[in-house]
């Protein structure tokens, strides 16, 4: 798979008469008291990756502080636990709102609160929209991976090595051959797209397709980097990419943004916000030829 040429084919110049509804309605469930930064990074990454409309479902108490930072996204205040995390009574409004959306991203910063984790499982198992599940979204299924067999919609799981073994057992896979084999096995077994993050991130599909990403650098091993990736992949889903394409395009452009940032700031000082801020340049760099006409 020549990822760059596939990416260029997919992202043609936008028609003059297009409108925001043409580029995907994304619903993001992220954040809790003390973990609102994850919500910010995921949301802005979705917007910077071309999503037409992004709505963020957050605990009520986070709406005001996040509204000040996320001026381009819409806020959906949801019922919360006394700890400031999403509560189970948020399920009904989430389910109703999701019917109007094209894609769902959930997990970053949602917390390990037991009630919130139960809500996550409920949302994932009832969702009829393609989704990206990351971080605390994955933690909610620890010890229960067979629940993925009951999904009603395509899902992309984005674990790092630690999350992968917490979910699916075994030892941490080492080397590309082992990582590829484990990712493929899980993708086929549970009929999900697996994004096994790390040096040369592996993307595996239920049909047996595999992409090994070559962009990215060790400076991207920093808190929040995965939240940015979740937002990018969700945006691709909302723009009608297949789950496998969305995951491949997402890890490619995320890594490229990280490489552009590392050139400017070095790997040691790189933070997740730098990857986010480099996304426009990364898209321009790959799509320069497309936009010249």
Looking at residue 14, what is its pLDDT? Answer: 86
Task: Identify any residues that bridge with 103 across adjacent strands, giving them in sequence order.
Answer: 26, 130
Tally of domains in the chain: 1
Residue 13 lies in a domain: no
- pTM exceeds cut of 0.85: yes
Q: Is 177 exposed, middle or buried (0-12, 13-18, 19+ CB in 10 A)?
A: exposed
Residue 2 lies in a domain: no
Residue 198 lies in a domain: yes
Show the domain range for 259.
22-167+175-207+221-286
Residue 266 lies in a domain: yes
Nearest to 124 by CA among 108, 101, 147: 147
Looking at residue 291, what is its pLDDT? Answer: 59
Looking at residue 148, what is its pLDDT? Answer: 98
Q: HSE of 284 in the Cβ direction (CA atoms, 13 Å)? A: 7
Residue 215 lies in a domain: no
C-alpha span between 8 and 136 (Å, rounded): 33
Residue 212 lies in a domain: no
- Residue-averaged pLDDT of the chain: 96
* H helix runs in the chain, sequence order: 3-10, 36-48, 63-69, 91-98, 114-126, 136-139, 161-168, 175-190, 225-238, 243-265, 272-287
Tell me: the pLDDT tens digits for 57-81?
A: 999 999 999 999 999 999 999 999 9
Could you give the percent of the chain with pLDDT greater than 70? Answer: 98
Residue 17 lies in a domain: no
CATH number of the domain enclosing 72: 3.40.1190.20
Query: Is the pLDDT assigned to residue 293 strictly greater than 50?
Result: no
C-alpha span between 67 and 65 (Å, rounded): 6
Query: Is the pLDDT assigned to residue 8 strictly greater than 50?
Result: yes
Residue 129 lies in a domain: yes
């Amino acid at each position: 798979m020549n990822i760059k040429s596939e990416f260029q084919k997919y992202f043609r110049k936008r028609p003059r008469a297009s409108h925001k509804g043409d580029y995907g309605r994304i619903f993001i469930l992220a954040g809790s008291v003390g973990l609102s930064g994850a919500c910010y990074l995921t949301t802005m990454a979705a917007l910077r990756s071309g999503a037409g409309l992004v709505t963020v479902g957050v605990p009520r108490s986070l709406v005001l502080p996040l509204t000040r930072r996320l001026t381009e996204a819409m806020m959906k205040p949801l019922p919360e636990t006394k700890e400031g995390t999403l509560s189970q009574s948020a399920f009904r409004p989430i389910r109703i709102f999701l019917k109007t959306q094209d894609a769902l991203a959930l997990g970053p910063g949602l917390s390990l609160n037991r009630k919130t984790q139960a809500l996550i499982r409920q949302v994932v198992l009832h969702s009829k929209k393609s989704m990206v599940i990351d971080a605390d979204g994955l933690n909610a299924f620890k010890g229960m991976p067979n629940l993925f067999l009951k999904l009603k919609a395509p899902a992309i799981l984005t674990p790092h090595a630690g999350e992968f073994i917490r979910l699916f057992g075994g030892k941490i896979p080492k080397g590309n051959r082992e990582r590829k084999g484990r990712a493929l096995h899980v993708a086929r077994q549970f009929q999900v797209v697996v994004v096994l993050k790390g040096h040369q991130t592996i993307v595996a599909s239920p049909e047996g397709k595999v992409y090994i990403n070559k962009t990215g650098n060790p400076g991207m091993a920093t808190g929040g980097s995965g939240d940015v990736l979740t937002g990018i992949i969700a945006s691709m889903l909302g723009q009608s990419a297949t789950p496998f394409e969305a995951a491949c395009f997402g890890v490619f452009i995320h890594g490229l943004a990280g490489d552009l940032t590392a050139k400017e700031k070095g790997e040691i000082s790189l933070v997740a916000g730098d990857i986010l801020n480099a996304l426009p340049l990364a898209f321009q760099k790959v799509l320069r030829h497309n936009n010249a006409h």
